[in-house]
Structure 1
Amino acid sequence: MPFKTDFDAFMSECWQHHEENPEQVYAQLETALSEVEDVTQIERIFALMLHTAIGHLQCPEQFLTCLEHFDERKVAESLAFQRSIAVARYFVDGTDNMELLEEQEQRRVYALISNELSALVQLELASQWLVKAALGMTPNDAEGPLARAIAITANNLACQYEALAERTCMETSKMLEAATLALDYWKVAGGWMQEERAEYRLAMSLLKADKPQEAKVHAERCEDICQQHGSDALELFHAHDLLMQVHFHLSQKYKAKLDEEMQQHCKTSSLT
């Protein structure tokens, strides 16, 4: 999709394919960046270029060089430009150049760094930067863009912890912290669907932590939110699928309390 014809469709397509074709998408974004004039469009390109260069190509130098040669007159007042440089510099040489940014902007940089570390599966470091982004602050203290950045990063980090084949006690704790943080901040930064999906995420993390009874609370909230807002078929499918998983885990916990003979009578449903 040519960016000059429909910029929104172009960006949507780039986001859709950036994981499977990062080189191609990055090249398309770089071409678009050299030609667009609208600051809002430039900032949207920055966001995906940064993520693709660092999280998928693992080549922050390429993105930083692009920024350093970019015509700053186009984005003279753009904080997104300064944030992008700060994040890229961190991944190139460990510096961040954030001293000129206000506190909320600095926290957004921390969240962005955490998100890219998460994409690189450097989860311990990612957790540290996420904590730094939210330290000493409640969700209501965060302006909209910062709250959204923390929510997105926390959700992605929880997913990465969930994907581990095995987790230490510390990793399990960090997974639950991230999923809880995502829910807290989506309640401020998002709509009903973001909140519902954050309930889903926390329930899944609790299942991974072998806490099905606690997971049930959030799975039921997930379902309730769906039903309160028009009963979207796709969202309800995932909500009910989640509840099925929760009840399966609960059934296995109760089964384990029975003696061996009685366990033989507890046949697992063919649905599982």
Structure 2
Amino acid sequence: MDLSTFINGAWDAHGDDADTVAQQLAEKLPEVQSPAEVPAFASLLAHVYGEHLGRWHDALVLLGRLRGVAAEDAVALAAVQRAERTLRCASGDGEALDDLMAGERAAVLAGAAAMQVGRGDAEAAASSLDAALAVAAEGLPDGSPALRALAVAGNNIAADLQDRPQRSAAETALMLRAAETGLAYWTRAGGWLQVERAEHRLSCCRLAAGEAEAALESARRCLAVCTANDAPAFERFFAHAVQAFAHRALGDEACFAQARDAALACHAQLADDERPWCEKELAELQAVAPA
């Protein structure tokens, strides 16, 4: 199995069996021979060992072994160094941010916040995210890697907290702040697809927080982005579905039915390999659909 195939498979499998994927990463590491292979491997390694397992020291040891491959390539070396600093920051190392420029500091803090949420420490995550946003507020140039780091971290934190069956008030506030961060920074770092999905995430989080009016506003913006960019049925399905859920939360059955029917029409256009991604929303829509 080539390295790229392994990494893709590991991303798919790690949520269900992080320990096994961690062992496979350690075994596979000697096969990383090219600097071009380092960033993706380092990112996965840090995520699995840090966010899922809290094995900070083991992760740093393995990343240290990647430095030899990355040493002569600035991009690869920067990826290893960021992963190391993020792990150190997430684990509470007070010196992890020393000597970092503003953009790199923001990126490390954002990544650490996502790891801390994954480890169940929402208080530390909120502190790290706030610190990242404070650094970013001082100004990040277009093209800065920190823009994407903030967008990804915001989305991941929001998704993690949204999926939890129970949240404290502080966790709900963090979920909303993270979703807003994802949207704000995908607007600068991504294309229309990332912005549309960030609007969808924000709408879902607002619904989870009981903010149906605000959720409907985000859902409408999500659908507007789809319409403006002739989005495929897969994207439009989710936009119509979340708008339907917002209408339902507001008690507007007529508008709910209209949005539901639009979502179901989009679902009918999907390819077979797209439909499994829509099962949860489809079940919610059909649960109240007329027989």
SS of aligned partner of 1:137: helix
How far apart in 2 are the matches of 1:220 and 1:129? 31
Give how far 1:270 is off.
3.3
1:31 paired residue number: 27
Letter in 1 for 2:58: Q
Deviates more, 1:92-101 or 1:198-207: 92-101
2:236 paired residue number: 236
Query: CA RMSD, aligned part only?
Result: 2.5
Any idea what the Cα deviations from partners look like across 1:49-79, whole Å, max 9, x if unmatched?
A: 01100122221221122234x1634222412
How far apart in 2 are the matches of 1:245 and 1:83? 39
1:55 aligns with 2:38: no
Residues 72 and 129 of structure 1, relative CA distance in 2, 3 Å threshold:
same
- Paired positions, count: 252
1:72 aligns with 2:67: yes
How far apart in 1 are the matches of 2:173 and 2:92? 30
Report if the CA contact (8 A) 1:123-1:161 is conserved. no
1:149 paired residue number: 149
TM-score normalized with structure 1 length = 0.83
Residues 90 and 174 of structure 1, relative CA distance in 2, 3 Å threshold:
closer
How far apart in 1 are the matches of 2:18 and 2:149? 22
Letter in 2 for 1:35: E
Report if the CA contact (8 A) 1:158-1:179 is conserved. yes
Larger radius of gyration: 1
Letter in 1 for 2:29: L
SS of aligned partner of 1:52: helix
Give how far 1:221 is off.
1.1
2:163 paired residue number: 163
Residues 46 and 240 of structure 1, relative CA distance in 2, 3 Å threshold:
same
How far apart in 1 are the matches of 2:148 and 2:29? 24
Letter in 1 for 2:240: H
Letter in 2 for 1:14: A
SS of aligned partner of 1:194: helix
Report if the CA contact (8 A) 1:87-1:96 is conserved. no
Residues 116 and 17 of structure 1, relative CA distance in 2, 3 Å threshold:
same
Q: Determine what percentage of the aligned residue pairs are the same residue.
A: 28
Letter in 2 for 1:113: A
Structure 2 gap segments, 5+ residues each:
254-286
SS of aligned partner of 1:135: helix
Residues 140 and 192 of structure 1, relative CA distance in 2, 3 Å threshold:
farther
1:270 aligns with 2:288: yes
1:263 paired residue number: none
Report if the CA contact (8 A) 1:86-1:98 is conserved. yes
Letter in 2 for 1:10: F
1:222 paired residue number: 222
Deviates more, 1:137-146 or 1:214-223: 137-146
Letter in 2 for 1:72: R
How far apart in 1 are the matches of 2:90 and 2:288? 49
How far apart in 1 are the matches of 2:79 and 2:211? 40
Report if the CA contact (8 A) 1:61-1:92 is conserved. no
How far apart in 1 are the matches of 2:135 and 2:97? 19
Give how far 1:218 is off.
0.9
SS of aligned partner of 1:141: coil
